A = this chain, B = another copy of it.
């Protein structure tokens, strides 16, 4: 089937989905939950085939980890996620503004689904369950395009989801699972029918999608997060936060990639901070003045920073470190070099912290906390759509709200503009909140 037909069908399904009630949408999720639960063994079998293929191709261990649905607790928490979403309050039709325009003429702003989502993901098969749940709950249609690594798992799960939907009010074309053989480029051309693309995967995937479509893309290519340690700071907190931000999960987009040190920090404290990283096998990429200060430390983990060091996303046990003059220099550096994901300041000086919080132009700005907190689950949003470094629409970790738009409803009784000022008449608008 062509990308255009797939997108058109999704668009028609969206029109049907848009008018269903919350209980009809939630019922469909419960059906999907039951079917996936009943078919756990066949899904895990298919997943094993994908895993064997991945191992035989020597794919990276982090990819294999992401691919593995058999990891303890992963399948059950995927299932639980569907029920959690089903039980959330209805996100559709909430009135977020109500205004009396004139007698008998009232304006309402009402939450509404966006339309058709195109989700492109690589190796995490549980994304199918996550996104299907979020899309149906929010009244959006979704086209899911999986990567070839998870092809077998994907095929089995997609059949189960389609079958489960066929017994519900949700049209089965509301969730279309596209096998990896079909052409993603063709789908990225369907800006007439598709309203939002959500890529979940490597930064290469995201960057490639962003430069090949006119459809808005929600997500992030890079996560170049920074930590700045100010002159007045607590050494123990600094070490904890820096080590956690770098080593808790180095492949995460919220791992720290650069550390900025106030130049007035005592040399022995600088050494202690850097050494806490080296103790965890982190390689520090340092500028010459910093290299002199830490010359006594284990040289196996010290390399020279180069021109690109402060624009790099390592996704590994590496970090770029440099001195800055003061908080203002740190802010300037971050606003120029960060990917606008998440940045943290470590200081005991509230005024300095507030300047940092106010000045940084990123989705997340932290004070004395690890950058690793940038995550929908940790923020308490439940299932996460992704993390956005966009500056319009949804920003940072995106939950169900990021899949919602709004519409204006105006209810009158024969009202026309020609009777009001500005339209040729004399009547004045009331513009009162109701």
Contact = CB atoms under 8 A, between A and B. Distances in A.
A380 interface: yes
Contacts of A372: 416-418, 423
Interface stretch (A29-37, A44-52, A153-161, A362-370): A362-370
A241 interface: yes
**What number of copies of this chain does the assembly contain?**
2
A7 to B, nearest CB: 13
Contact of A395 (B359, B406, B414): B406
Contacts of A378: 101, 417, 420, 422, 429
B422 A396 contact: no
A391 interface: yes
A216 B392 contact: yes
A94 interface: no
Interface in A339-387: 353, 355, 357-370, 372-374, 377-380
Given A214-B211, A240-B414, A335-B15, A379 B196 contact: no
Interface string A196-231: 100000000000001100101010000000000000
Nearest to A371: B417
A210 B214 CA distance: 8
A268 interface: no
Given A18-B361, A380-B101, A424-B248, A366 B413 contact: no
A393 B211 CA distance: 20
A248 B417 contact: yes
Contact of A15 (B196, B359, B411, B413): B359
Contacts of A359: 15, 18-19
A6 interface: no
Given A15-B359, A366-B412, A370-B415, 6 more contacts: A93-B358, A210-B214, A365-B407, A366-B411, A369-B416, A393-B393
29 contacts: A14-B361, A15-B332, A93-B358, A99-B379, A99-B380, A114-B392, A195-B392, A196-B392, A211-B214, A218-B392, A241-B414, A241-B416, A244-B417, A244-B418, A362-B407, A363-B408, A364-B410, A365-B408, A366-B409, A366-B411, A367-B409, A367-B411, A368-B412, A369-B414, A369-B415, A370-B416, A378-B420, A393-B393, A395-B408
